[in-house]
Structure 1
Amino acid sequence: MAKRKRKKNEWLDWVKAIVIAFIIAFVVRKFLFTPIIVDGPSMMPTLHDRDQLIVNKFNYHFETPDRFDIVVFHATKKKDFIKRVIGLPGEHVAVKDNVLYINGKKIEEPFLEEKEGDMQSYRVLTENFTLEELPGNYKKIPKNYVLVLGDNRSNSVDSRILGLISLDQIVGKTSLLYWPLNRVQLMGE
């Protein structure tokens, strides 16, 4: 009888441990971190198609995105995109002759430089635009919105097509590229 009771208790302990593990995993994935796989070349040369990253869903509950953060956002109800924050609330953004201007001031984009070992050239070929020419016809980026662009500007569906992105659409900031192993790196460091 005692042996049977011990087996039953052991079985219940295992069930409890598994249930607790699933609850913890659910909470971590829902509120703290989630994986994402890059789909397409729009973030080349920084991110490659099929790169796997961890998205920090937690930090934007306490702070707003910074310029050049790489963020994941809900582009549609079924599709998340990964792009780089370029323009912040209250700013005017323009690109002329492949040069980014924020409020009329030239801004360097060092992440667009070719990296040693890149197989292809991803020259920045951004057609000239101003904020007023984008969907919404804004003169300045409104409060609670950002302008995002892909690093591979000639092959990216971003704010030039989608318009400005609401902070409510942002899932989180990329924090770790973990696959493939030869490209493991902390993002934004």
Structure 2
Amino acid sequence: MKEKKTKNETWEWIKALLIAFGLAAIIRVFLFTPIVVDGVSMMPTLENGDRMIVNKIVYTIGEPDRFDIVVFHAEEEKDYIKRIIGLPGDTVEYQNDVLYINGEPFEEPYLDQSKQEIAENQLTEDFTLLDKIQSEVVPEGHVFVLGDNRRQSKDSRHIGAVSIDEIIGSTRIVFWPFKDFGFVN
């Protein structure tokens, strides 16, 4: 009788573990996945080595928003983390370190620290979409992305507009290092 109870208990543990691993796999593949920031292109918002959670379902049920931080497949078969600046149909232009979208100036508070550190120079060089992607507007089905570290970021100024289909998801949560745990804007 004890032997049957032990076998039954062992089988229950095995089933519980299989279910747990199955759920973890489903969550990671379809809902959320961790990512490690590699490089300095999003500093000071994100630091090299920050570990984040990527929400993979956000754009399945909704559309990208301006200033979302997204992870996408880049041409070099590497995933990039950048900030969405231009949405489909937008005009994007920089003049005297000011972002203009559809002719209207936009504040970028996430750049304030960087601008203060280099007060004598521009953080973002002057450009128009025509200069960078040979189009006056962001193409349909695409977004224009920039890294927050404008001087050291390989982004849409270099790789062109990013297809929305290449976006893995949005990320706003740093979970490691623990001192930086929380949401980023």
TM norm structure 1: 0.90
Q: Which runs of 5+ in 2 are unaligned?
A: none
Q: C-alpha offsets along residues 69-126 of structure 1, whole Å, 9 cap, x if unaligned?
A: 11111114731110000001111111122111111221111110118xxxx9367622
Residue number in structure 2 paired with 1:38: 37
Q: State the TM-score, normalized to the length of structure 2.
A: 0.92
Q: CA RMSD for the aligned pairs? A: 1.8
Q: Which residue of 2 aligns with 1:130?
A: 128
Partner of 1:142: 139
Is this contact kept in 1: 2:87–2:142, CA < 8 A? yes
Matched, 1:57 2:56: yes
Q: Which residue in 2 is equivalent to 1:106?
A: 105
Matched, 1:121 2:117: yes
Checking the alignment, whether the CA contact within 8 Å between 2:45 and 2:184 is kept in structure 1 is: no
Partner secondary structure for residue 14 of structure 1:
helix
Q: Which residue of 2 aligns with 1:6?
A: 5
Contact 1:122 1:152 in 2 (8 A): no
Equivalent residue number for residue 27 of structure 2: 28
Compared CA separation, residues 122 and 148, structure 1 to 2 (3 A): farther
Q: Output the amino acid matched with 1:66.
A: D
The one-letter code sitting in structure 1 at the alignment partner of 2:143 is: V
Identity fraction in percent = 51
Segments of structure 1 that go 5 or more residues without pairing to the other structure are none
Q: Please give the per-residue CA displacement for 1:156-183, whole angstroms capped at 9, x wherever unaligned.
A: 0100111001111111111311111211
- Misfit runs of 4+, over 3 Å: 120-124
Describe the SS at the equivalent of 1:9: helix
In the alignment, what sits opposite 1:153?
Answer: 150
Distance 1:170 1:122 in 2: 32
2:160 to 160, 163, 178: 163
Would the alpha carbon gap of residues 48 and 86 (structure 1) be closer, same or farther in structure 2, given more than 3 Å must change? same
Once the two structures are overlaid, the 10-residue window that deviates more, 153-162 or 52-61, is: 52-61
Q: Following TM superposition, by how much is the alpha carbon of 1:153 offset from its aligned partner in structure 2, in angstroms?
A: 0.3
- Equivalenced residue count is 182
Distance 1:4 1:172, change over 3 A: same
- 1:12 is displaced (CA, Å) by 1.1
Contact conserved, 1:87 with 1:93, CA < 8 A, in 2?
yes
Compared with structure 1, are the counterparts of its residues 131 and 156 closer, same or farther at alpha carbon in structure 2 (3 Å cutoff)? same
| Structure 2 residue matching 1:114: 3-state secondary structure | helix
Report the counterpart of residue 47 of structure 2 in structure 1: 48
